Amino acid sequence: MVAYTAPLTDMRFVLTHLVDLDSIAALPGYEAATPDLVDAILEEAGKLGAEVLAPLNHSGDIEGCHYENGVVRCPQGFPDAYKQYVESGWNSLPFDPDYGGQGMPWAVAFAVQEIWQSANMAFALCPLLNQGAVELLTEHGSTEQKDLYLTKLISGEWTGTMDLTEPQAGSDLSAVRTKAIRVDGGYRVIGQKIYITHGEHDMSENIIHMVLARLPDAPDGTRGISLFLVPKFLVNPDGSLGVHNDLRCAGIEHKLGIKASPTAVMSYGDNGGATAFLIGEEHRGIEYMFTMMNNARLSVGLQGIAIAERAYQQACAYARDRVQSRDITAPKGERVSIIHHPDVRRMLMTMRAGTEAARALAYSAGSGLDVSKRHPDKVVRSEAQKRVDLLTPVVKAWSSDLGVEIASLGIQVHGGIGFVEETGAAQHYRDARIAPIYEGTNGIHANDLVFRKIGRDGGAAARTYFADLRRDTEALLTRPGDDAQVIGQALLHSLATLETATDWVAERTKTDPRAVAAGAAVFLRLFGLVAGGGMMVKSADRALGLQAAGQGDAAYLDAKLIVARFYAEHYLPQTAGLLDPMRTAHNTVMGLSEEQL
């Protein structure tokens, strides 16, 4: 297995020059996020990722989780690693200092989270879900609930889960059947949930489940669903643990990847009902749960980026070492490592360019979260939230699709040995494959983009975003040199295609929704390619500016320009071929009868 090294240089470049960490640190409450502190955070996170989490990635995949009589044991080394993670304070990074958090910006937390996901995605899924539970409780919990649960969830001593899915209710949450009943002024929950990530494990002393359930008098559909906090162990008023609640793990799934992360079947109420605590008001559970889901969706996009980075590092290392064939320019010369062969370089550059574009886009969304939460101007906060809402389905779906594609390319670089498990290249692909599925399949996110984010406001938020991309591109085009012109003009051409596509979507969402839905996934890919291109334009502009000022690492900045140009010449031209399939997909997508399929 190739050792993992956090890409700190690129992370710093993105945080400093693309999302403007100085401006984020100027927001109320973020004053502590100085460049020196952020550098120290990234350095220490890189050490934990490389020295503690990454060495457990392959062994955890081989061993998997163990289930016996309701008890789940994580692979060897995982509980100790989690203890070290908690004791070092990593779980508390972006959360409220009033409950023990460190109050760091989400843009910084995203960079740190990428390190955990690259080093060991199965391990990092536990804090990912806990992070969403903290956000949910912070936003919608009562004062009593916050006082009783938040401190331990923020520290990581307790972990949180998201309990939505049932055997008959996957993405269609209107079909949820788990029951909630009123008992003695409180609530009990009875039912079964499936696919609950870290629903049962041995890394924390308590697990706090966020459970969707339906009260007897609830209206039909999603409007009749309530949200309940259901702890594994009931918590006494002084914060100590009480008796085991009426819930159990009925089994764990055997999966393609992320085998070291227990995916649990949870059974509630075998003995009359699990004690539950209503979050917010009755019948508003879906609304509240979206706080947790949207948080998780951005993090799943980060998982795609993280796996892509890990696959790229491993492919590069293998390509440097694997000697095979002669350089095409010296057919009679010595045999060379495969990194000298143009097609291998093409694959490595494709991996790197896609990863860097997606990373910058995800961190940008993280900085938008910071502005939406902390900016003193209400209008600025609102506009930032609209931008985050627009980009969330793109970050989730485009980045997770890229993760799969790039992990697949990693196997291809290895050749036949990549298909063999011992190299670890196959594990990256298997682990990456879940990201386009959970937290809403990417098809659902494509529908969200076209119907909610474009159709609902007629494309207004998107056009504001496009204007910003055009402004950044025009700034790049004022720079001297061929690179600036090639990169800038490529984005302008692709942006024009996206604008045409957006107009079509905005016009058709109400008059021909089936046509829009048929092309939604193609539209999202088009949007993602352009959004990633926008970040590459910004990267090139900042790199050229630093070069002109004689600042920064010369070799890194030169590489940044080459990678940005590669993206412009290899990724952005794909957009030209997506417009027509998006607009005409409905002619054939639903063309065959069920019997003909």
Residues 247 and 271 in one domain: yes
Question: Is 68 among the catalytic positions?
Answer: no
For residue 201, is it within any domain? yes
Residues 145 and 163 in one domain: no
| Alpha carbon distance 110, 94 (integer Å) | 9
Extract the tokens encoding 339: 């990194």
Residues 108 and 180 in one domain: no
Give residue 238's pLDDT: 95
Give residue 222's pLDDT: 86
Tell me the mean pLDDT in the region 528-546: 98
DSSP assignments along 192-247, one per residue: EEEEEETSS-SSSSEEEEEEEEE-TTPPSSGGGEEEEEEESEEE-TTS-EEEEPSE
| Alpha carbon distance 449, 365 (integer Å) | 15
Is residue 349 a contact partner of residue 367, using CB atoms and an 8 Å limit? no
Residue 2 binned pLDDT confidence (cut-offs 50, 70, 90): confident
What average pLDDT does the structure give for the chain?
A: 96
Q: How many residues does the chain have?
A: 597
Residues 136 and 163 in one domain: no
Give residue 526's pLDDT: 98
Tell me the mean pLDDT in the region 384-391: 97
Tell me the mean pLDDT in the region 539-545: 98
Residues 515 and 531 in one domain: yes
Domain count, the chain: 3
Single-letter code of the amino acid located at 482: D
Q: What's the CATH code of the domain at 14?
A: 1.10.540.10
Last residue of a domain, one of 257, 283, 309: 283
Is residue 188 a contact partner of residue 180, using CB atoms and an 8 Å limit? yes
Residue 169 confidence (pLDDT) above 90? no
For residue 12, is it within any domain? yes
Q: Please report which helix (H) or strand (E) contains residue 561, including its range.
A: helix 554-566
Residues 132 and 199 in one domain: no
Residue 199 confidence (pLDDT) above 80? yes
Q: What's the CATH code of the domain at 186?
A: 2.40.110.20
Per-state percent for the chain, helix, strand, coil, to nearest 5: 60, 15, 25
For residue 420, is it within any domain? no
51: helix, strand or coil: helix
Range of the domain at 240: 158-283
Predicted confidence (pLDDT) per residue in 37-58, tens digit: 999 999 999 999 999 999 999 9
Predicted confidence (pLDDT) per residue in 391-423, tens digit: 999 999 999 999 999 999 999 999 999 999 999
CA quadruple 300, 353, 528, 581: dihedral, nearest 10: -120
Residue 143 binned pLDDT confidence (cut-offs 50, 70, 90): very high
334: helix, strand or coil: coil
Residue 175 binned pLDDT confidence (cut-offs 50, 70, 90): confident
Give residue 388's pLDDT: 97
| Alpha carbon distance 247, 237 (integer Å) | 21
Give residue 530's pLDDT: 98
Residues 55 and 132 in one domain: yes
Give residue 170's pLDDT: 72
Last residue of a domain, one of 283, 315, 348: 283
Give residue 171's pLDDT: 76
186 has which bridge partners?
183
Single-letter code of the amino acid located at 448: D
Residue 315 confidence (pLDDT) above 80? yes
For the chain, state the CA radius of gyration.
24
For residue 103, is it within any domain? yes
Residue 291 binned pLDDT confidence (cut-offs 50, 70, 90): confident
For residue 439, is it within any domain? no
Last residue of a domain, one of 92, 125, 155: 155
Residue 298's nearest CA partner among 166, 396, 177 is: 396
| Alpha carbon distance 235, 276 (integer Å) | 11
Residues 151 and 183 in one domain: no
For residue 195, is it within any domain? yes
Tell me the mean pLDDT in the region 267-290: 95
Residue 376 confidence (pLDDT) above 80? yes
- Select which of 114, 166, 200, 439 is catalytic: 439
Residues 232 and 116 in one domain: no
Residues 146 and 244 in one domain: no
Residue 246 confidence (pLDDT) above 90? yes
Q: Count other Cβ atoms within 10 Å, centred on residue 404.
A: 22
Residues 14 and 137 in one domain: yes
Residue 290 confidence (pLDDT) above 90? no
Give residue 173's pLDDT: 78
Residues 96 and 175 in one domain: no
For residue 17, is it within any domain? yes
Tell me the mean pLDDT in the region 492-520: 97
For residue 62, is it within any domain? yes
Residue 293 confidence (pLDDT) above 90? no
Is residue 148 a contact partner of residue 229, using CB atoms and an 8 Å limit? no
Tell me the mean pLDDT in the region 484-504: 98
For the chain, counts of helices (H) and of strands (E):
21, 14
Residue 221 confidence (pLDDT) above 90? no
DSSP assignments along 84-112, one per residue: HHHHTTGGGTTS-GGGT-----HHHHHHH
